[in-house]
A and B are shown apart, each in its own frame.
Chain A
Amino acid sequence: MLNSRLELDTLKKKALADIGSKEKRILVCAGTGCVANGSLKVFELFQQLLGEKPELAVSLALEKEHSHQGVSAHTSGCHGFCQMGPLVRIEPRGTLYCKVQPGDVAEIFEEHIINNRLVSRLLYHDDKNQLPIETQDEIPFYKNQFRVALANCGRIDPDDIKDYIAHDGYQPLAKVLFEMTPDEVIKEVLDSGLRGRGGGGFPTGRKWLFAREAGGEKKYIVCNGDEGDPGAFMDRSVMEGDPHRIIEGMMLAGYAVGADEGYIYVRAEYPLAVKRLHNAVETAVRYGMLGENILGSGFSFKVNIKEGAGAFVCGEETALIASIEGERGMPRPRPPFPAVSGLWGCPTVINNVETLANLPSIILKGAGWFSNIGVTTSTGTKTFALAGQVAHTGLVEVPMGLTLKEIVFDIGGGLRDNKVFKAVQIGGPSGGCLTREHLDLPLDYDSLQKAGAMVGSGGLVVMGEDTCMVEVAKFFMGFVQNESCGKCVPCREGTRGMLELLNRIANGSGTEEDLSLLEELALIVKDGSLCGLGKTSPNPVLTTLRYFRSEYEAHVRDKKCPAGVCKDLLDYRIDPSLCKGCGLCKKLCPADAISGERKEPHWIDLEKCIKCGTCISKCKFGSIVTN
């Protein structure tokens, strides 16, 4: 139980000394991706080996309290480089071993821990020259990153409050409690230029100011951890990898606006995040960092954890409030805004996980430090979830305003399998598609909005030349239609209408009228929907129409899918000059659509062909072609 700032500082020194006393610290990534790839088994084996070598004065993760020196093993939160997992990081040098299998543990232990020799084959190898790179910071994927929100992810044990405290955790809170007035805190956040990282990009300080100025005794801080964009997982990584940072961010907000209670609305489909948040809240309460009279300052704060109700729309702030209140998660008309009348009618600040995770650093290092990162109207960093056909998938946190090219090619390593870059879908179903002409576009709130996309939660799906943009629009439209809460007509029925039109276009029955109807409808849904989810849902359609209109037109006019994706528009055909008549395709065809004599060119009966693609994938001579 920490009763004063002094006790917090003492604990920090002790925790730092503990870490410093270790010759080596093994951090096994326990993010969802690595866990799925078997990282926990790796961790167990390290523990086991540490146990077998008492002469190393070993300390195990679970017994850290009593450790003095030597080596310790910890689980950590997500490192972000999920594609390379399970990841094992060894401090103090920051060596990063990739794709570590249980069978590799003994070797790492013997060579690295005991004999201080690198296990070269498990290091990351440079894409270009295939040379091994030892430390995490030197890997191109990390080199261009600038980590604020993710600073601790992968470097501390999320289940250990002392590890957090050792890394300056709760120092910002102590600073505001003892050195700053709430108004000064708000001013600091305003000056930092921090904008909401959940999608809208509303200035965080202004949101706080509204809530501070709203009357009423009871106010709430809500952490929006209902991350639902397909492919985005930055909030999950912070919640799993650095849960105390979120709690601290909420308390900073609470102190600033005068709230003494908060809710973390965490997506229930993130069981590990739920578990770690619960653990963090319990520990923080035990250490006196949550509860009454924190550090003797007179400030009290309570955090409740509410598991999400499983709907994408619950990420919309008024729907989220309804969901916490036990109602169906449906948005309510604004005004009144939550800052005036939110949870149970009280003034409520709702901040996204990543937004909150930035706050401790802003307070600690100052608004000036933060506003120097990024560009004028979009300060600080943004985490993007790189996915799709990019060489290196994972989480990257970069200063705002980095260009698309820098992210996709310098950090992401370009496209996989030598594919040619065609587009990115940025910001999930609310965002839009950007093309090659945007490669030099700085990724910040305003530039993206101008291009018809949005930062959104930061999903970044990279697509190569074999992606059909109609198909992409269809995918996101299907997602929004399934996730629409069904309240307002434009979103519920409009997305149904758009999906229907896209289906028509993709299956070849679309007309030019359908194309203009699609455009008309998209604008109406954008104009008329009740909440942000609905208003932004046409973005994928509008941007693909804007940048890839000819592709749509090919579907409609020529009944062709230029990318060769839309099945209904494909005809399979055997090039007689290439066919050797081996008969393999005939044998494998599930629809008996292929005929032909042995050693004679075969042919496909288009009436029977179901376009499953089996023949193409199996033909050794490349004789089966589509148009």
Chain B
Amino acid sequence: MNNWIDIIALDEIPRLGSRVIRTDTMDVAVFRTRDDQVFALRDACPHKGGPLSQGIVHGTSVTCPLHNWKIDLASGEALGPDEGCTNVFATKVEGGRVLLALKADVAAA
């Protein structure tokens, strides 16, 4: 069972941008694509821990601002020849609000 937390209105995340959600243990980056899909990743690039939330979002991936690794928003995996993966959290949009499930997927990941 996912434990959904209401975090923010969809409109408060810029299109092709992100917001940072600070929890007790880590930062989570919540991304919004051009067609209003929402994804959440642990805000740390698998390469050197760069803040993915600060990267440029394109399609369904984000480019890390530190060394240009490209991370897939849906799987958290590095694209192209790079290898590595960051944690993914479930999200859904209901009535214009973005909901995030932290615990279930932390355990899974």
A, B in one complex: no
Chain A contact residues, CB within 8 Å of chain B: none
